[in-house]
Amino acid sequence: MQDFINEFTVNFIDDHRYRYITEGFVNTLIISFFAVLVGVAIGFLVAIIRSNHEKTGHMKIANFICQVYLTVMRGTPTMLQLLIIYYVVFMSVNVPKVFVAVVAFGLNSGAYVAEIVRSGIMSVDEGQSEAGRSLGLNYRQTMQYIVIPQAFKNVLPALGNEFIVLLKETSISGYIGLTDLTHGGDIIRGITFSAFMPLIAVALIYLLMVTGLSWCVNKLERRLRVNER
Amino acid sequence: MSDKVLLEVKDLKKDFGDHQVLKGISTQISQGEVVAIIGPSGCGKSTFLRSLNLLEVPTGGSVVFEGKEITAPGTDVDKIRQKIGMVFQQFNLFNNLSIQDNITLAPVKLGLMGKEEAEKKARELLERVGLPSKANAYPAMLSGGQKQRIAIARSLAMNPDVMLFDEPTSALDPEMVGEVLELMKELAADGMTMVVVTHEMGFAREVATRVLFIDEGVIREENTPQEFFDHPKNQRLQEFLSKVL
C-alpha cells in the first residue's frame, strides 16, 4: 500500500505532475469536440452532395471533389494526415497546434461521417421523399424536414461509434508535439521512469470518456425512438 | 361535373432504357371527373399516374395542367404539385412526424397557412377522415387503413384541384379496404376531381365517371363504367375482365 502511495505521489503530486494529465485531458476534449463538429458538418455536406448526385445526376464537379476527398482521407493513415497538415499545409503559418489537430481530425472524420450519413439517407424509403415532393415541397425542404431526420436516427449508432473512434484517435496528437491526454501521461512516464501509474491512469480516463459518450448517444437514440412505439 | 379541362395529356411517352412503358397516351380529365385506371400489372398505369405530377419525368409528349404545360422545361414543378394531391400505395406518411405534423408540414413550410390555421385545418380534416383522436399519434402506431386515411387528409390539407391515387388500397388488409374506399367515395361525392389507379372493380364501376383500360403502354379502351364493364369492346379488356371479375 505504501508503495502505491509513493508511486502515486511521484507520478502525480510531485512538481504538480498531474497537470500534464489535466492539460492533456482538456486538449483531448477540445480537439475531439471541435473535430466532431467539423466532421459532422463536412460529413453531412458530402453525403448530401453525393446522394443528390446519385439520384439526379446533378452536381458532377462537386461530387467528383467529394470522391477525391473520400479516397484520400480513407486511403491514407490518419497519423500521416496529421503530420502533413502540421508540417506541410501549415508549415509557414503560425497556428496553435490544437487548431491543427482539429482541422486534421475533423477532415479525417468527415470522410467517415459522410459515408455513414449517406448510408442513412439511402436507408430512408424513396416513398418518403416522393410524398414530400408530391405535396410541393422542394428538394431542400424534403431533405431537411423528412429525409435527414430519419437518416440521422437510423445512423445514430454508427455515428456514435465514429465519435468514439475519433476520440481515441486524437491520442496520436503527440506526434506534432501537442500535449493531449496520451502524450501528457507519456511525459510523466518519461520523467518518473514509471510506466504503470501514468499510462493506466490515462487509459482509465479514456475509458470514462468513452463510456460517458456512449451513454449520451444511447440516451439520444432512445429519445429519438419514442415515436416508434 | 363541368367541362373545364384540368389535365390534358398528349402523346405521353416514357422509356426506362430500352423498355418503353408508355407508348403514347392521350386523354383529358375535366373538373369533377373520377377517372379509374385499370389494367394488368406492369402495363404502365402507375407510371402514367406518376407522370401527371412529374414524379416520373416523361420522355415524350406533354402534360398540361390548368392551362400550363408542366412538362415544358423551366416550369416550377413544386408550385404545380401543390395543386395536385397524391396518395400512394404504401401511404408514405412521414415516419418522423406526428399525424398532425404530417398534415401541417407542407401548408406551413410552403407559407400557405400559419401554424395555428394549419392545425385547425388538420383537426377538421382528421374529423373528416374519422380519426380525430390521432393528432398526436405517430404513423407507426396506426393500422394500414388509418394511415391511408391520414395520407388522404394530408393531401387534402393543400386544397388540391385534383387528387391522384396510386393503388390506394392494394397494400391494405381486406378488412381495411372498405374504410378507405368509403372515404374516397365521399370525396368524389363532394366533387373532387380524382384519378385512381385501382384493382377495385367495384369502386371503378360504382364511383368512377369514366374508366380507362391501359395495356402495354396504351389506352385500349375508355368508356363510362356501364359500357366499360358490361360491353367491353377491346379483346384484351374482355380477357382481363374475365380474369378479375
**DSSP string covering chain B, please?**
----EEEEEEEEEEEETTEEEEEEEEEEEETT-EEEEE--TTSSHHHHHHHTTTSS--SEEEEEETTEETTSTT--HHHHHTTEEEE-TT----TTS-HHHHHHHHHHHTTSS-HHHHHHHHHHHHHHTT-GGGTT--GGGS-HHHHHHHHHHHHHTT--SEEEEESTTTTS-HHHHHHHHHHHHHHHHTT-EEEEE-S-HHHHHHH-SEEEEEETTEEEEEE-HHHHHHS--SHHHHHHHHHH-
| Helix, strand, or coil (residue A91) | coil
Shortest CA distance from A146: residue in chain B: B94
User: Measured between alpha carbons, how far is B74 from B72 in angstroms, rounded to an integer?
Assistant: 6
pLDDT at B54 over 90: yes
Q: What is the mean pLDDT of residues B122-134?
A: 96
What pLDDT is attached to residue A56? Answer: 83
- Report residue A225 CA to chain centroid gap: 24
Q: How far is CA A54 from CA A59, A73, A121, A136, A174, in A?
A: 10, 21, 11, 22, 40
Nearest to A137 among B55, B110, B140 (CB): B110
Nine-digit cell at B241? 375482365
Dihedral of alpha carbons A138, A114, A119, A54, sign: positive
| Helix, strand, or coil (residue A17) | coil
Gyration radius of chain A over CA positions: 21
Selected residue with higher pLDDT from B245 and B160: B160
Whether ipTM tops 0.90, in short, is: yes
- Contacts for A216 with CB less than 8 Å, ≥ 6 apart: none
User: Measured between alpha carbons, how far is B171 from B151 in angstroms, rounded to an integer?
Assistant: 13
What pLDDT is attached to residue A226? Answer: 77
Nearest to B94 among A136, A146, A228 (CB): A146
B95 lies within 8 A of chain A by CB: yes
A137 lies within 8 A of chain B by CB: yes
Residues of B in contact with A141 (CB under 8 A): 109
Selected for mutation to probe chain A from B54, B76, B95, B96 (highest A CB count within 10 Å) is B96
Please give the biggest Cα pair distance in chain B.
Answer: 55
Q: What is the mean pLDDT of residues B47-75?
A: 94
What pLDDT is attached to residue B41? Answer: 87
Q: How far is A57 from chain B (nearest CA, A)?
A: 14
B228 lies within 8 A of chain A by CB: no
- Report residue A162 CA to chain centroid gap: 6
Q: What is the mean pLDDT of residues B168-189?
A: 95
Confidence bin at B2 (pLDDT 50/70/90): low
Asked if A133 and B78 come within 8 Å (Cβ–Cβ), the reply is: yes
At B233, which amino acid appears? K
Looking at the DSSP assignment, which residues form a beta bridge with residue B212? B37, B222
Confidence bin at B245 (pLDDT 50/70/90): confident
Residues of A in contact with B94 (CB under 8 A): 128, 131-132, 145-146
Asked if B88 and A131 come within 8 Å (Cβ–Cβ), the reply is: yes
What pLDDT is attached to residue B20? Answer: 92
Q: Which residue has the cell 380524382?
A: B194
Q: What is the mean pLDDT of residues B124-132?
A: 96
Nearest to A136 among B78, B97, B141 (CB): B78
Nearest to A227 among B109, B110, B138 (CB): B138
pTM for this one? 0.88
The pLDDT tens digits of the residues spanning B69-125 come to 999 988 999 999 999 999 999 999 999 999 999 999 999 999 999 999 999 999 999
pLDDT at B1 over 70: no
What is the phi-psi region of residue A208: left when phi exceeds 0, alpha when psi lies from -120 to 50, beta otherwise?
A: alpha
| Helix, strand, or coil (residue A179) | coil
Nearest to B106 among A136, A150, A228 (CB): A136
Smallest CA-to-CA distance from B22 within B54, B48, B56, B55 is with: B48
Q: How many CB pairs under 8 A join A and B?
A: 77
Asked if B140 and A131 come within 8 Å (Cβ–Cβ), the reply is: no
A152 lies within 8 A of chain B by CB: no
What pLDDT is attached to residue B187? Answer: 96
B70 lies within 8 A of chain A by CB: no
List domains and CATH numbers for chain A: 2-228 (1.10.3720.10)
Selected for mutation to probe chain B from A133, A135, A152 (highest B CB count within 10 Å) is A135
Asked if A134 and B53 come within 8 Å (Cβ–Cβ), the reply is: yes
From the first residue on, what is the mean pLDDT of each consecutive set of 10 residues in chain A (229 residues)?
Answer: 88 91 96 97 96 89 97 97 96 93 98 96 95 96 96 94 96 95 95 93 96 94 79
User: Measured between alpha carbons, how far is A108 from A28 in angstroms, rounded to an integer?
Assistant: 16
* Number of other CB atoms surrounding residue A206 within 10 Å: 19
Chain B stretch 126-165, residues whose beta carbon is closer than 8 A to a beta carbon of chain A: 138, 140-141, 151, 154-155, 158
